[in-house]
Amino acid sequence: MMPRDLSAHEAYVPGRGTEEVARELGLDPDELTKLSSNENPHGPSPAAVAAVEDAAPDVNVYPKTSHTDLTERLAAKWDVSPEQVWVGPGADGALDYLSRAFLEPDDRVLVPTPGFAYYSMSARYHHGDAAEYAVSKDDDFAQTAAGVLDAYDDERIVYVTTPHNPTGSVMARDEIVELLESVEDRTLVVADEAYGEYSAEPSAVELLSEYDNLAVTRTFSKAYGLAGLRIGYAVVPEAWGDAYARVNTPFAANEIACRAALAALDDEKHVEESVETAAWAREYYRDELDARTWPSGGNFVLVEVGDGTAVAEAAQRRGVIVRDTSSFGLPECVRVSCGTREETRRAVEVLNDVVADVAAEGTRA
Ligand code: PMP
């Protein structure tokens, strides 16, 4: 007995965990600085940790109220109705719900390249396929409606990542409006704002009062520091009514995660501090790295290092884990997350050393 033919499905390869790398290098995990998955270096809000502890004794029962409470809280935050908030296990879960709601077999989605792998993976799980538009280094990874429309061929869903992973570029709201107005009636535009809190650009959620061909995804994994709890959401047009009730996996947004998310939303100071640290670190990377970088609206910076794999491996041996972006189609770069001030300074020191070493080795070879 075997599963159906899965050969067209790639496996998602996450950045490697600190324990795994520490074991391989024979180091204590505390000696490693992990800057490869755009996590929050401040950790979760203490209020969210307390909420997790409070929720723990009740996990013998199915989620009851928190799911609704979180939906209502997010609806109030974004000034939309609760039916418009689709909470799921991470933004990934919310993206899956959008695939379920929209894709018929053989439908195609349009995704950015380089870009976040899960959009096309989710389309394939739902018996669809993906085409690509370029976010091009030749244009400093600028994101414009024209750039998307150049490749657009009536796909059912068009994904925009803003700020974009792994380049950090942002699509201005006017460009999103132009895209919404230019696509065919059957096309949904999804603005993935997983890194939205770090960006000065206003959220596309505000456009939902005018456009019914838009959904916006957001997460608690980044600025809210709850990546391990898997909680995120989509905000969708009012006209979709009870579609969420028809497509969501029952109880997939679990009680502990929902309660922690509610507490995290109330701890605005924690989010502000996290965003401030990231803004400082982005500038520090851009000023201090002896390599080409690009402006970033996220909590990470893309760095051109020559041989991304060799630099990531050498940095790891020196205790700093960064993301080799070969799998994104940028083998000449690494992506480094914003750490605490201490972590960020250390990353700069190590990256500057290893970039020079790898370049010197390349010249010798
Ligand atoms: N979108 C983008 C662009 C991401 O980079 C990520 C996570 N790395 C996600 C969505 C998924 O986030 P979550 O942890 O909420 O599933």
- Point out the ligand 1 atom lying closest to the alpha carbon of residue 93: 16
What dotted CATH number matches 46-266?
Answer: 3.40.640.10
Task: State the pLDDT at residue 49.
Answer: 98
Distance 223 CA to ligand 1 centre (A): 12
What was the pLDDT predicted at 210? 96
pLDDT for res 65: 65
Looking at domain 18-44+269-360, which CATH architecture does it have? Alpha-Beta Complex (3.90)
Asked if residue 102 has its Cβ within 6 Å of ligand 1, the reply is no
> Residue 360 Cα, ligand 1 centroid: separation in angstroms?
36
As for the ipTM of the complex, it is: 0.99
- Look at residue 266 in the predicted model and tell me its pLDDT: 97
Domain ranges in the chain? Answer: 18-44+269-360, 46-266
316 CA from centroid of ligand 1 (Å): 23
Pairing of strands 108-113, 129-134: parallel
What was the pLDDT predicted at 365? 64
- Which pLDDT score, from 0 to 100, does residue 249 have? 93
Find the 92 Cα to ligand 1 centroid distance in Å: 6
- Determine the pLDDT at residue 205: 98
Is any ligand 1 atom within 6 A of the Cβ of residue 114?
A: no
Q: What is the mean pLDDT of each run of 10 residues along the chain (365 residues)?
A: 89 82 87 95 98 95 84 97 96 97 96 96 95 97 98 98 98 98 97 98 97 98 98 97 93 95 98 98 98 98 97 96 95 98 98 94 74
